[in-house]
Structure 1
Amino acid sequence: MTRADLAEALHHQVGLSRADSARIVEQILKEMCEALSEGQNVKISGFGTFVLRDKGERIGRNPKTGVEVPIAPRRVLTFRASQMMRDRIVEASALA
């Protein structure tokens, strides 16, 4: 699903103009990005939670050569689906 798909769904289901729908989708995504860049988690009830995690430095291995390489500490974004979303996915796959 793309931004355009979200805007189109908003246009059809809510009845807003296509331009207004696109602006709303962009504003929501912008707010989510800003919150995440400030270190906040983003929770959408019934959908899931976007969480920032700090990963420490560790030793990795080049799979081709076997040489050990240090991997720098970094911050990663993870998504955890809500139980409601997981139930919907299981239900949809059972119907397929």
Structure 2
Amino acid sequence: MKLTKARIAEEIVKTHTMLTKKEAVDYVETFLTIVKNDLISGNNLLISGFGKFIVKDKQQRRGRNPQTGDDLLLDSRRVVTFHPSGKLRQRVNG
């Protein structure tokens, strides 16, 4: 089963019965907007007990088209990587 924004909102409503589903959806959307904006700005995101999202700058590099074998130049870009916390890693691995 996939974890979706709607399912996160449902879980929030289950544990916080004083909230409406719409309020929970708004909180999830607000949280995700904050996270997206910070990552876009190049800031790393640390969630204790969960992990760290790291923004890395990749330099321009040479690549190859796998279909034609032609060499090409890949543009520099930013990527987001995730490193789980030790606690999360232990829980996932049992």
Does residue 81 of structure 1 match 2:84? yes
Structure 1 distance, partners of 2:62, 2:42, is 26
TM-score normalised by L of structure 1: 0.90
TM-score normalised by L of structure 2: 0.91
Q: Secondary structure at the match of 2:82?
A: strand
Q: How many residues align?
A: 91
Query: What's the % identity of the aligned pairs?
Result: 37
Report the Cα offset of residue 77 of structure 1: 1.1
Report the Cα offset of residue 24 of structure 1: 0.8
Report the Cα offset of residue 46 of structure 1: 0.8
Q: Please tell me the residue identity of whatever aligns with 2:22.
A: A
Flag structure 2 segments of 5+ consecutive residues without an equivalent.
none
Structure 2 partner of 1:43: 46
Q: Please tell me the residue identity of whatever aligns with 2:12.
A: L
Structure 2 distance, partners of 1:14, 1:41, is 29
Does residue 14 of structure 1 match 2:16? yes
Report the Cα offset of residue 20 of structure 1: 1.2
Structure 1 distance, partners of 2:39, 2:57, is 13
Aligned with 1:4 (options 3, 6, 9): 6
Flag structure 1 segments of 5+ consecutive residues without an equivalent.
92-96
- Structure with bigger helix share is 1
Q: Which structure 1 residue ranges, 4+ long, deviate > 2 Å from structure 2? A: none
Report the Cα offset of residue 3 of structure 1: 0.3
